[in-house]
Each structure stands twice: as structure tokens, then as C-alpha cells.
Amino acid sequence: MTKDIALVLSSGGARGLAHIGVIEELEAQGFHITSIAGTSMGALIGGIYAAGKLQEFREWMKSIDKRKMLELTDLSFSLNHLVKGNRIIDAIKKIVPDTKIEDLSIPYCAVATDLENGREVTFRKGSLFGAIRASISLPGYYEPVRINDMVLIDGGTVNPIPLNRVARKKGDLLVGVDVSGHDYKGQSQLQHFIEERRRQDKSLSQQILNRLIPDNLDFNYFTMLSRTSSIMIRQNSKLMAQLTQPDILIDIQLRRYGGFDYDKSEKLIAIGHKYAQRAIEKYNKIT
């Protein structure tokens, strides 16, 4: 018998590619996703799924290597962010055309944070990629999104796994996928990735990065803040799960993969399949 589920996908950078494997496994085992909500990478994967383009996105991700990642990184001249974030969104739009959230096949919600007052901002209508771009605005890395009087940054700051924001229907199961665990290796990878991008860039942005992030230093102001943020996000996600008590929680904490391992999509997707299988087997044994 088909089981309807309200699916919630957490933040987590590249680790969020495991969400794809989870979705594929849930559908393979007879679950029917009737609504979806996500934060940051969870908002991206959830939105692409709701738009019916998940397989196309998966195929595109196979082409992403270190060189492609560098090409998609549009460095900024600003002192409050390192990357504009337009280039990656424009690339994804070529395979997943933008649409209105209210026109998607299932209810969808993305979560961002208003930097001006610290409040959670939810998107349930309007531009799909407008919502995604706001939700993935990693503080200090991507340029914040300005809408009216709001300055929007990554939703993981306030609600990394928005189990309380997904649309529900009578009789459905609440399923959460959490890949938000802090990973120091991931922070070091970001350091090395930025250093490589900096070596290829001879503009003023290089001078800015030189001041913000010294060469060959894994522990600096940037990595310290990034690690601190990751730890807080993980604690918030654990608290949300305790408060909301999803029917199935697929907790994927990865030590071998960091938040910038976008060139390892197939491995991360396979991990999503494995963890989903385990969680479903556990659920079936107790029901």
C-alpha cells in the first residue's frame, strides 16, 4: 500500500546530495511524497524534485568536477561575502527552468533567515529560484539576498531541518532527512577551494581574499566562524527533531565528505540510498 509522506530536507552543503538517494529510495519502496520543505541544500534538492527535474539534475551533477566548480564560482568584490552566487543558479536554471512555487506539483516550502532581525522567513509562493537562492545564502560566502527591507541569508541559521514548516495532510508520515552534522574536514576543503580559485583570479577580488583568508592556514577567522556555525546548526537540527518527533528520521552524518564535495555526487547519492534503506527497515520493524 502506498504511504503518503511529508518530506523535510536539511541544510548541509554538498552532503545534501544524499537527499537525492533518499528520495529515490523512498519512492522505490512505495512511499508517495505529497509535500516537501527544505533549508539551504535541502531547499535546492526539494525544489528541483517538486519541479519534476530531479533526474536531469542528477545527470548534470555527474559533469561537476573541481574545474567546473571553479568556473561556477563568481568571486565578489564585497567585504561581506566571497561569491556572488549568480553563476551557479543560472547554470541550474538551464536544466530546471524557474517557475512559481504555487504552480509546482506538490506543496513546497523553503526557509531563509532575515539578517536584520534574526527571524525565520518561509517561501510558499513566488519564484522557485528566488526562494532557493535566499535559502542557500551561506553567511560570509554567498551574497545575501535583498527583498524589500529584508537581508536574507541561509535558513540553516534558524531552522536547518524545517520539520515544523512542511505542509501536512491527514494520515501522512513525517519524514526528515538530516545531513547537517558539522564536519571540520569540510571547512578545510572550503579553505583549499578558495585558495585554488584565488590563484586563478588576478583581479581586485584576489586582494580582498588575501586579506580575509591567509594562504596555507587551515585555522583562521573564516574557518573558526564556519566551524562554529556548523556546530550550532547541528545542535539546532537535533533540537528540532526532538521537538517535532518525525515518524522517520534519516540521520546522515558524514565524516569522509565535506560541505564542498560537489564533485562526488554519485557517492553521496549512494550513501543516501543506504541510510534510507536502514531507516525504512527500522520503521517497518516497529510498525
Q: What's the rounded Cα separation, in Å, for the pair 229 and 107?
A: 29
List the catalytic residue out of 40, 137, 229, 237.
Answer: 40
Distances from the Cα of 174 to the Cαs of 4, 120, 272, in angstroms? 9, 21, 18
List the catalytic residue out of 10, 11, 114, 154.
Answer: 154
Query: Is 154 a known active-site residue?
Result: yes
Q: What's the rounded Cα separation, in Å, for the pair 116 and 131?
A: 18
Sequence letter at residue 85: G
Q: What's the rounded Cα separation, in Å, for the pair 16 and 61?
A: 13
Our CA angle for 86, 167, 259, nearest 5°, is 40
Q: What's the rounded Cα separation, in Å, for the pair 81 and 85?
A: 10
Query: Is 40 a known active-site residue?
Result: yes
Question: Mind telling me the catalytic residues?
Answer: 40, 154
